[in-house]
């Protein structure tokens, strides 16, 4: 094994999201989310799987934190269920819901684990969706008011906040292709939802500056896009795909403008926005979170909406269970690209992991060697970016636990810890043991 030096103080942790692990979606006065409605809609999830129980984390959080400590985790990225705290999405606070996150954060801190809090990880309160949700311009204020409730309760114990998790997935999945809640398939709605997500991000950052004393950022998913060939049509489609996924959200935040290709991508569905929106969106942020899983290889295809290009991994590519090509160099390249394009602000890998066909438990072990190999190669890629001068400050593996993989239900597992959903028994996989060694050696075991 080659020794890999990670900076002193590099933050090693794991990531989850509320609806994917908590269960108890309506307990203690919580308001339903769009995922409660979507997952209970026949045909929307594999096997009709829902988050009704999931990993039962709402009740088992203390044991899960103990497991994190046993693995040597230094940080834990979690998300807040907006509807658990504000059942109507705004207005009255549900103290029991807020109390769960208060206890979770205290339990993490008591175990020497830094909490990183994501305010929005896709589970919009149904009550707000009934008022237009991300299509209603008022949502920027709704989101900022909710964020302020969380800042007042947790800031100081939480020192790293993220406003949104992956606005691209929220809109591409939830408003364009309908694969994710709220399940819309509407070209015109998609850029409107995107813009309102960015305004909400800006409003929440502005609210934080008024009362927060620590750091706030945003988490984006980025896939470096490569043309399937040197055919000019493939190259042009690749540029559009790169703008649509990789630059659509960070360019407005850092440059106050959308990529020029967006008008080409959306055509008549692409709206114009007032200057004051960009001023709100451009609030200075303290850090950037990157969720990296794979790269994209783009083949021109007029039928592939809205980019006019489809993803076509090269022949012979090794794919994960979600069909994503193993491409660790893309992680290095993306971290370097983010620094070069958006500046030298602190970067965290806020998600990285893979759904693999895990072998069944045997003798109390899950020998997920493929996942160990995935983590090893991607940690090496992070190290290469650091050696190239990128200020990467931490790595959160996705995910701590096998959990509800959204529309794919429990059919795809990303956890380094196996969950038996019949018994809720947690069993660290070989990848958890490997990751524990990586943490203990500050990357040396990678």
Ligand X SMILES: OC[C@@H]1[C@@H](O)[C@H](O)[C@@H](O)c2nc(CNc3ccccc3)cn21
Catalytically annotated residues: 166, 351
Of 164 and 280, which CB lies nearer to ligand X in the complex structure?
164
To the nearest 10°, the Cα dihedral for 237, 243, 246, 247? Answer: 170
Q: Per the structure block, which two tokens stand in for 179?
A: 């694969």
Interface stretch with ligand X, choices 131-139, 140-148, 164-172, 225-233 (CB under 6 A) = 164-172
Q: Is 166 in the site for ligand X (CB under 6 A)?
A: yes
Of 55 and 207, which CB lies nearer to ligand X in the complex structure?
55
Interface stretch with ligand X, choices 70-78, 127-135, 161-169, 226-234 (CB under 6 A) = 161-169
30-63 per-residue burial string, b: 16 or more CB within 10 A, e: under 16: bbbbbbbbbbeeeebbeeebbbebbbbbbebbee
Q: Which of residues 205-234 bind ligand X (CB under 6 A)?
A: 221
- The residue among 334, 191, 196 whose CA lies nearest residue 264 is 191
Provide long-range contacts, Cβ within 8 A and 24+ apart, for 258-267.
Answer: 262/191, 264/240, 265/240, 265/306, 265/307, 265/308, 266/187, 266/190, 266/191, 266/306
Of 207 and 245, which CB lies nearer to ligand X in the complex structure?
245
Q: Per the structure block, which two tokens stand in for 181?
A: 């809640």
Of 153 and 429, which CB lies nearer to ligand X in the complex structure?
429
Query: In the bound complex, what is the minimum distance in angstroms from residue 211's beta carbon to ligand X?
Result: 27
Q: Of these, 291, 311, 334, 352, which contacts ligand X (CB under 6 A)?
A: 291
Q: Is 22 in the site for ligand X (CB under 6 A)?
A: no
Q: Is 82 in the site for ligand X (CB under 6 A)?
A: no
Distance CA 337, CA 339 (A): 5
H/E element, 430 = helix 430-440
Distance CA 378, CA 335 (A): 12
Query: In the bound complex, what is the minimum distance in angstroms from residue 55's beta carbon to ligand X?
Result: 13
Distance CA 230, CA 297 (A): 12
Q: Of these, 414, 415, 417, 419, which contacts ligand X (CB under 6 A)?
A: 414
Of 169 and 345, which CB lies nearer to ligand X in the complex structure?
169
Query: In the bound complex, what is the minimum distance in angstroms from residue 382's beta carbon to ligand X?
Result: 17
Q: Are 14 and 73 in contact (CB under 8 A)?
A: yes
Q: Of these, 405, 432, 434, 435, which contacts ligand X (CB under 6 A)?
A: 405
Interface stretch with ligand X, choices 163-171, 204-212, 246-254, 300-308 (CB under 6 A) = 163-171
Q: Is 293 in the site for ligand X (CB under 6 A)?
A: yes
To the nearest 10°, the Cα dihedral for 396, 398, 403, 409? Answer: 140
Of 21 and 280, which CB lies nearer to ligand X in the complex structure?
21
Of 4 and 225, which CB lies nearer to ligand X in the complex structure?
225
Q: Is 165 in the site for ligand X (CB under 6 A)?
A: yes
Q: Are 18 and 79 in contact (CB under 8 A)?
A: yes
Q: What is the DSSP string of 309-344?
A: EEE-PPTT--B-TTSPBP-THHHHHHHHHHHHHH-S
Query: In the bound complex, what is the minimum distance in angstroms from residue 193's beta carbon to ligand X?
Result: 16
Q: Pattern 313-352, binding to ligand X, x per CB under 6 A? A: --------------------------------------x-
Peptide bond into 306 cis (omega under 30): yes
Q: Of these, 4, 12, 14, 17, which contacts ligand X (CB under 6 A)?
A: 17
Distance separating the N- and C-terminal Cα atoms of the chain: 7
Query: In the bound complex, what is the minimum distance in angstroms from residue 398's beta carbon to ligand X?
Result: 6
Q: Which of residues 365-404 bind ligand X (CB under 6 A)?
A: 398
Q: Is 169 in the site for ligand X (CB under 6 A)?
A: yes
Interface stretch with ligand X, choices 86-94, 131-139, 162-170, 334-342 (CB under 6 A) = 162-170
Q: Is 146 in the site for ligand X (CB under 6 A)?
A: no
Which position has the token pair 């006065």? 29
Query: In the bound complex, what is the minimum distance in angstroms from residue 160's beta carbon to ligand X?
Result: 16
CA distances from 335 to 135, 184, 221, 340, 396 (A): 32, 32, 12, 9, 15
Q: Per the structure block, which two tokens stand in for 429?
A: 């996989």
Q: Per the structure block, which two tokens stand in for 426?
A: 């947690």
The count of other CB atoms within 10 Å of the CB of residue 138 is: 13
Query: In the bound complex, what is the minimum distance in angstroms from residue 318's beta carbon to ligand X?
Result: 17
Interface stretch with ligand X, choices 60-68, 139-147, 165-173, 263-271 (CB under 6 A) = 165-173
Of 21 and 228, which CB lies nearer to ligand X in the complex structure?
21
Query: In the bound complex, what is the minimum distance in angstroms from residue 181's beta carbon to ligand X?
Result: 12
Distance CA 189, CA 174 (A): 10
Q: Give the residues lining the site for ligand X (CB under 6 A).
A: 17, 20, 165-166, 169, 221, 291, 293, 351, 398, 405, 414
């Amino acid at each position: 094994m080659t020794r890999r030096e990670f900076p002193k103080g590099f933050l090693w942790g794991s990531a989850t999201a509320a609806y994917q692990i908590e269960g108890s979606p309506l307990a203690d006065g919580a308001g339903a989310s769009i995922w409660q409605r979507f997952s209970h809609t026949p045909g929307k999830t594999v096997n009709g799987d829902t988050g009704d129980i999931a990993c039962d984390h709402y009740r088992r959080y203390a044991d899960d934190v103990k497991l994190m400590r046993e693995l040597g985790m230094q940080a834990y990225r979690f998300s807040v269920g907006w509807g658990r705290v504000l059942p109507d999405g705004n207005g009255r606070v549900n103290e029991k819901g807020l109390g769960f996150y208060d206890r979770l954060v205290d339990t993490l801190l008591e175990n020497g684990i830094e909490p990183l809090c994501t305010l929005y990880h896709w589970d919009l309160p149904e009550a707000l969706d009934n008022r237009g949700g991300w299509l209603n311009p008022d949502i920027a204020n709704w989101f900022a008011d909710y964020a302020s409730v969380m800042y007042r309760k947790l800031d100081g114990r939480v020192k790293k906040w993220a406003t949104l998790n992956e606005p691209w997935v929220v809109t591409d999945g939830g408003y364009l292709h309908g694969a994710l809640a709220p399940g819309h398939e509407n070209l015109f709605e998609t850029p409107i939802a995107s813009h309102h997500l960015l305004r909400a991000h800006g409003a929440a950052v502005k609210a934080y500056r008024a009362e927060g004393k620590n750091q706030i950022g945003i988490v984006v998913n980025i896939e470096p896009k490569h043309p399937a060939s040197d055919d000019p049509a493939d190259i042009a489609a690749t540029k559009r795909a790169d703008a649509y996924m990789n630059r659509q959200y960070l360019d407005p935040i850092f440059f106050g403008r959308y990529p020029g290709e967006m008008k080409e991508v959306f055509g008549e569905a692409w709206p114009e926005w007032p200057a004051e929106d960009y001023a709100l969106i451009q609030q200075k942020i303290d850090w950037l979170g990157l969720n990296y899983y794979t790269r994209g290889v783009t083949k021109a295809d007029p039928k592939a909406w809205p980019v006019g290009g489809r993803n076509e991994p090269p022949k012979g590519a090794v794919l994960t269970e979600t069909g994503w090509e193993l491409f660790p160099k893309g992680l290095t390249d993306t971290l370097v690209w983010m620094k070069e394009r958006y500046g030298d602000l602190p970067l965290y890998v806020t998600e990285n992991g893979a759904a693999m066909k895990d072998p069944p438990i045997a003798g109390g072990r899950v020998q997920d060697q493929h996942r160990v190999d995935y983590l090893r190669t991607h940690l090496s890629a992070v190290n290469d970016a650091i050696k190239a001068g990128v200020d990467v400050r931490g790595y959160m593996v996705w995910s701590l636990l096998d959990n509800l993989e959204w529309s794919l239900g429990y059919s795809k597992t990303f956890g380094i810890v196996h969950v038996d959903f019949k018994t809720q028994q947690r069993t660290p996989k070989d990848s958890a043991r490997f990751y524990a060694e990586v943490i203990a050696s500050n990357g040396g075991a990678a």
